[in-house]
A and B are shown apart, each in its own frame.
Chain A
């Protein structure tokens, strides 16, 4: 059965991420919930990183798409808890990242007790181009807050990965 909120969810979820346009906010797990309250759509999104400049654009874009799809009353809310984790990126989202040459994130670290210090080499990401695990992380940061920079020692190509957080 096609419901009104189901349709709205599909419209909102299909919004591309401004910085990673090959994936949608649905793929990334940024879209948390969508409810209809007194004829008004209340859409809840969650930030990936505290300073992510894309959040405002995402909120505006989701609202624009819903209005264009005929939903007159739309309210976008921010949800901070539970905090976004890269584990929420869907299987489809991971496949799209890989096809775009970006290594999807490894499972996020789950800890009890203090965060351990990492002084040694970072765990190797799998090269999205040739599939080799002989890769080196060049930087823990890259062109956006959510990615790290690597090079593949097998095919010698540089690539990015989505950080596991």
Chain B
């Protein structure tokens, strides 16, 4: 056996030297390295950073919940789909937290791993654990439809970095929404059992929808609920499903996810996601 057969990294690389190998996971660099992150005149830097944290937290927490599905999905095609969607959202989270961190003087890792529950500003929709595949695609439909509408609006935002992150995100979210919509239709318009379970999944998710459209002083752009509803209604009508009529999840003292008030589920996500970074705060790959 030759040396190159012994070392899979050497075998994969077409030039062999110690400091030049193709292997992922060897380290992370700032996803915005070399990007001009100065804040334009007329844009409130702290407001921009806070908003980027909110949008980054939505993607980070939801990506984590989607990652929990990997190796547990029914088919290989769904494995690759959900893993890719989670990866896209993690990439969006990294850039958004990186954008915020450039203003706040904190790294993406400090923001992701060293904040506690009340310092996260994600909407409560992204916190829960999916009970079944119908809940996965039901929540993804709501999340991707809402986020796509928001990101379309952000493509013309006055901060060019956030606008560029949104423009990239639009192409990705379009795929996420189509994936979810096609599964909601397939299950809703499938067998009696799949229809029942898809309807039950939507009923479970819908209590979190109102919060997405709740006016919040930190929002830098707003979208009309009608823009999102028209897409959701099209999918539900095609699937033969009813739009759930459930009361929205209550606010706590008038506050919700964007204010740092969360459901119990977020604590479990953070405990798992942050434990290694907190146990070894100075560790590097």
What is A's interface to B at a CB cutoff of 8 Å? 16, 18, 21, 44, 47, 49-57, 59-61, 64, 75-84, 114-115, 117-119, 138-143, 145, 149, 163, 165
> Which chain A residues lie closer than 8 Å to B83 at the CB level?
141
In-complex Cβ contact of A57 among B22, B81, B235 (8 A):
B22
A154 → chain B, closest Cβ, in Å?
21
What is B's interface to A at a CB cutoff of 8 Å? 14, 19-20, 22, 24, 27-29, 31-35, 77, 80-81, 83-85, 87-92, 94-95, 148-149, 152, 160-161, 163-165, 167-172, 174-175, 177-179, 181-182, 185, 227, 231, 234-235, 238
Please measure, in the bound complex, the distance between the C-alpha atom of A57 and the C-alpha atom of B253, giving whole angstroms.
Answer: 48
> Which chain A residues lie closer than 8 Å to B231 at the CB level?
117
In-complex Cβ contact of B91 among A50, A114, A163 (8 A):
A50
Residue of B nearest to A81 (CB): B164
Q: Name 10 A/B residue pairs within 8 A (Cβ), A-sorted.
A: A18-B22, A49-B172, A51-B87, A51-B92, A114-B149, A115-B174, A119-B235, A139-B80, A140-B178, A141-B81
Residue of B nearest to A16 (CB): B14
> Which chain A residues lie closer than 8 Å to B88 at the CB level?
49-51, 145
Q: Which 6 A-B pairs have the closest CB atoms?
A: A51-B91, A77-B34, A50-B91, A80-B164, A139-B77, A81-B164
Please measure, in the bound complex, the distance between the C-alpha atom of A114 and the C-alpha atom of B177, giving whole angstroms.
Answer: 13
Please measure, in the bound complex, the distance between the C-alpha atom of A36 and the C-alpha atom of B86, giving whole angstroms.
Answer: 38
B227–A114 touching, CB < 8 Å: yes
B152–A53 touching, CB < 8 Å: no
Please measure, in the bound complex, the distance between the C-alpha atom of A16 and the C-alpha atom of B12, giving whole angstroms.
Answer: 12
A56 → chain B, closest Cβ, in Å?
5
> Which chain A residues lie closer than 8 Å to B34 at the CB level?
44, 75-79
> Which chain B residues lie closer than 8 Å to A44 at the CB level?
34
Interface of A, secondary structure class, is loop
Given A119-B185, A141-B85; A47-B168 close (CB under 8 Å): yes
B94–A140 touching, CB < 8 Å: no
Given A64-B19, A115-B148; A143-B165 close (CB under 8 Å): no
A117–B27 touching, CB < 8 Å: no
A-B contact count (CB 8 A): 126
B171–A165 touching, CB < 8 Å: yes
Interface of B, secondary structure class, is helix
> Which chain B residues lie closer than 8 Å to A47 at the CB level?
31, 91, 168
Given A49-B88, A76-B33; A140-B28 close (CB under 8 Å): no
B168 → chain A, closest Cβ, in Å?
5
> Which chain A residues lie closer than 8 Å to B182 at the CB level?
118-119
Residue of A nearest to B161 (CB): A80
Please measure, in the bound complex, the distance between the C-alpha atom of A51 and the C-alpha atom of B179, giving whole angstroms.
Answer: 18
> Which chain B residues lie closer than 8 Å to A81 at the CB level?
160, 163-164, 167
> Which chain A residues lie closer than 8 Å to B28 at the CB level?
56
A59–B178 touching, CB < 8 Å: no
A50–B35 touching, CB < 8 Å: no
> Which chain A residues lie closer than 8 Å to B165 at the CB level?
50, 80
> Which chain B residues lie closer than 8 Å to A57 at the CB level?
22, 24
B77–A149 touching, CB < 8 Å: yes
B69 → chain A, closest Cβ, in Å?
13
A66 → chain B, closest Cβ, in Å?
12
Interface centre among B81, B152, B168, B169 (most CB of A within 10 A): B168
Please measure, in the bound complex, the distance between the C-alpha atom of A138 and the C-alpha atom of B179, giving whole angstroms.
Answer: 12
Interface centre among B19, B22, B169 (most CB of A within 10 A): B22
B175–A78 touching, CB < 8 Å: no
Residue of A nearest to B166 (CB): A83
A13 → chain B, closest Cβ, in Å?
16
Please measure, in the bound complex, the distance between the C-alpha atom of A39 and the C-alpha atom of B282, giving whole angstroms.
Answer: 35
> Which chain A residues lie closer than 8 Å to B90 at the CB level?
51
Please measure, in the bound complex, the distance between the C-alpha atom of A51 and the C-alpha atom of B178, giving whole angstroms.
Answer: 19
B167–A83 touching, CB < 8 Å: yes
Additional pairs, 20, CB under 8 Å, beyond known A59-B29, A82-B167, A141-B85 = A16-B14, A50-B91, A50-B95, A51-B88, A51-B89, A76-B33, A76-B34, A77-B33, A78-B31, A78-B32, A78-B35, A79-B35, A80-B168, A83-B168, A114-B152, A117-B234, A119-B185, A139-B80, A140-B175, A141-B77
